[in-house]
Amino acid sequence: MFEIIRDIGAITRRIEVNTNAEFRRLGLANNAFIYVIRSYEKPGMFLGELADSVQIDRTTAFRTVRKLVDNGYLRLEDDASDKRLRRVYVAEKGAKVYPELHAFEQHSSDTLVSQLTDDEKAELKRLLGKLIY
């Protein structure tokens, strides 16, 4: 059954290379696009929460977010009640590119599952949702 983790590992790495190449022109390589997408969809996560949600090392995430803030894609806000937290939001530039980022993600996904029937797609999604990690 170990083929499962080998398969998803290879698929993930391949998709990351593709997507990074696609968005390098926007300064969103090195998985930076991920943070824009997630911050757009769930605004206000704090830094560690965002990092954990995508399973990227917190220090790496921290530096990428800082760069995206410098580049105008994201924006940070101190939390009102907990002084440790810094919450992440998309800035205008981030909101503007979101549709393109998500469309590419959608396209990558469509290609990936293109040999599956609709039922199989739904089943795959369901099964992945039951995985423990």
Residue 129 touching its own copies (CB under 8 A):
yes
Cβ proximity to its own copies: between 82 and 123 the closer is 123
Distances (CA, A) of 89 to 8, 36, 68, 99, 132: 30, 9, 11, 16, 29
User: How far is residue 124's CA from residue 81's CA, in Å, rounded to a whole number?
Assistant: 41
What does the chain come to in residues?
Answer: 133
**Centroid of chain to Cα 3:** 24
Contacting its own copies within 58-117 (CB under 8 A): 102, 105-106, 108-116
**Residues lying near DNA in the complex (CB under 7 A):** 17, 20-21, 24, 29-31, 46-49, 51, 56-60, 62-64, 66-67, 81-86
Cβ 122 to DNA, closest distance in Å? 32
Instruction: Report in angstroms how near the CB of residue 58 gets to its own copies at its nearest.
Output: 11
User: What are the b/e assignments for 54-87, b being 16+ CB within 10 Å?
Assistant: eebeeeebbebbebbbeeebbbeeeeeeeeebbb
Q: Is the Cβ of residue 84 or residue 133 nearer to its own copies in the bound state?
A: 133
- Contact (Cβ atoms closer than 8 angstroms) between residue 133 and residue 72: no
Contacting its own copies (CB under 8 A), which of 24, 42, 54, 70? 54
Residues that bind its own copies (CB under 8 A): 1-17, 53-57, 102, 105-106, 108-116, 120-121, 123-125, 127-133
